[in-house]
Amino acid sequence: MPERDYASKRAFGGTPEPRGRVEGNVDPGLAPPGERFVVQQHHATRLHFDLRLEMMNGDLPVLVSWAVPKNLPMKKGESHLAVHVEDHPIEYETFSGTIPAGNYGAGEVRIFDHGTYELLEQEPAKVTFRLNGRRLKGVWHLILPNDGGRDWLLFLREDERPPRDELPDMVPMLATLEREPFDDDRFLFEMKWDGVRALAAFTDQTLFLSRNQRDITATYPELASLHDRVVALEAVVDGEIVAIHAGRPSFERLQSRINLSDEKEIARAAKTIPVTFIVFDLLYLDGRSLISLAVEERKRLLAEIIVPSEKIVVSEGEVGAGTALFDVAASARLEGIVAKRLGSPYRPGKRTREWIKIKTLYDAELVVGGWTAGTGSRSSAFGALLLGAYDGDELRFVGLVGTGFDERALGDMLTRLRNLETDEAPFADPAGISAGRFGKPIKNPHWVRPELVCKVEFREVTSGVRLRAPSFKGLIHDADPRDCTIEGLEELMNP
């Protein structure tokens, strides 16, 4: 039996937990059952789950409680430790919130599941019960191996959850570009985050997939335990991995982490350039596909299951006021905003006008077709990259980018360029390639096979489909060069 009672462990002036009424602790193998149960996810010094079954102490209903470090087992044959702790007042059934530092059990508490239960078997050292909750549906055994001890073992006897829905396609939904911000009460507006798009699958571990379904989990080891911050048995979410610098996402800093493969280099980078996962959509939850639900309902459910930390946060949205949010994004030098039509489903891999992106600065993924010789301090590297986009089967030249490189990026890029160098120009009209506003031809360009794709930020697209004030943001390692097309740039041309 627990050595102390509920009230003696708590200073109620410093904790929001309910005071309630508890009179000692009852024997779970003997006390008459009630009807209710709750399982709470408790982010204390160590994450654990609290199983609480309503039982009667005379005429007083209380919550007989066990701390379960690994949550209730969901596979037959597994046994999980369940430590019998003090009875809690019945009011604790609805408690969710923050227990402040310095108090017993300090940390975040969330309701993992609640509902009714049925006591099927009750002995001094054995309790068998059926849970009927939102997530937990089945029959479990609680067994006390050593009479008089606190350490019980918890087993699953029968999993009674309904059949699971199929997982949706693990491909992110895409947004259509618009030039100007707008206000519209039919849309939810949120920030556009400048990072690496990723879908995350949370079970008893964390898995990250890139937009092309490449496993990128090992690249970001500091995010490996994010499943502990998710109030769910399983969930699939959509979001952006970002590196925050000076209060805003920096794709340039993130770029130095994207192509790392050496385990020691990754570990060092995780300390010097830590990342955060910003989550903005929920596709799958506890066996149910949510992609047909309205975006606002998916966002509501998403906010319920994420316990925020410095490693994971939920992107908030606001209905109607797109212009004001765009101004905030512009003043904060953020990438832009995204408008999502209320009532719209999630469409994996599709680009529709149900999601609209409006950027403070534009960017594009473009093909590297060559480079120019460097001069001055760049004489040992290169001057600028020659960029192109496909028009059908032809690669058209769209400009040069010579800014945005640090020393590491220059060295890495030069090595990649030399490995791809060729005598054959990849562009459709190499003789017509020119630099600058006066159309001067580029002298002695070096050509490469069109296999590299980079992200470039720019102010506008001028006549002839040329980039104005481009800046290199980084290589895109999982992109197909053939997906870099001229149509998107033509839409941005000044009228």
Q: Which of 9, 192, 264, 473 is catalytic?
A: 192
The half-sphere exposure of 1 on its side-chain side, counting CA atoms within 13 A, is 12
Q: Concatenated DSSP letters for 12-50?
A: TTS--S------S---TTTSPEEEEEEEEEEESSSEEEE
- Of 477, 470, 475, 472, nearest to 492 by C-alpha is 470
Helix 263-272 to helix 251-258 angle (10° resolution) is 160
- Determine the length of the chain: 495
Residues 6+ apart with CB under 8 A from 256: 269, 273, 408, 409
Q: Which residues contact 438 (CB under 8 A, 6 or more apart)?
A: none
Please state, in angstroms and rounded to a whole number, the distance separating the CA atoms of residues 192 and 319: 15
The answer to whether 227 and 206 have CB atoms below 8 angstroms apart is yes
440 flagged as catalytic: no
Query: C-alpha angle 487/491/495, rounded to 5°?
Result: 140
269 close to 194: Cβ distance less than 8 angstroms: no
CA angle 386–391–394, rounded 5-degree value: 70
Q: Give residue 3's identity as a one-letter amino acid code.
A: E
Give percent helix, percent strand, percent coil of the chain, each to the nearest 5. 15, 45, 40
Distances in whole angstroms, Cα of residue 28 to Cα of each of 124, 187, 226, 425: 7, 52, 34, 80
User: Rounded to an integer, what distance in angstroms lies between the CA atom of residue 229 and that of residue 314?
Assistant: 12
Q: Which residue has the tokens 């890495």?
A: 412
Catalytic residue list: 192
